[in-house]
Chains A and B, each alone.
Chain A
């Protein structure tokens, strides 16, 4: 059974600092996704990572994938308050489109 674990689950940090969210998954997968969710809102797609060593960056967020370690990271650089949200990683069941989600990381960035 495919399991996805994120850590930390809660993260409070100061503006201007750097931090990393980790996402481990238990079995081989084709794709890894990162989403952002604001309170009361749906999921906003951030990144889709398809291959080992893939790295994608958008603004202050950078995601990477190590398929051998079954590990993805979401790195936040010089955090700003607007990045406060819950971040989810998800992986697809091999050969299928349905996703298994991590528990989510609730990120709070304080001025």
Chain B
């Protein structure tokens, strides 16, 4: 299994500001994933963070709004830039682990409220 630590666990931010969310894994992983869960909704993948290369963004998400860093095999950050109330969501990082990366583990999430 993989243990994922995410911080902050929650934050309340002013519109127009940026927040950086950190994700630390207890083992080396090739890919880390960032998901967004809007209130009462399911999870949507924002991007895949690969160590040593640019993140791969899903349709509807752009690097200017959600820049991602992946400096090593155990750590990643997601920044939510120029926030608006529509960015209020839970943001979760995830990694694959286990045989053939068959398990998918999630951090505890960051609950972001933009006012």
Contacts and interface: CB of A to CB of B under 8 A. Distances in A.
Given A40-B111, A97-B31, A98-B48, A45 B103 contact: yes
Nearest to A99: B104
A103 interface: yes
Contacts, number: 49
Interface residues of A, number: 21
Given A31-B102, A45-B103, A97 B96 contact: yes
Interface in B87-115: 92, 94, 96, 101-109, 111
Contact of B103 (A40, A48, A98, A102): A48
Contacts of A35: 106
Interface of B: 31, 33, 41-45, 48, 92, 94, 96, 101-109, 111
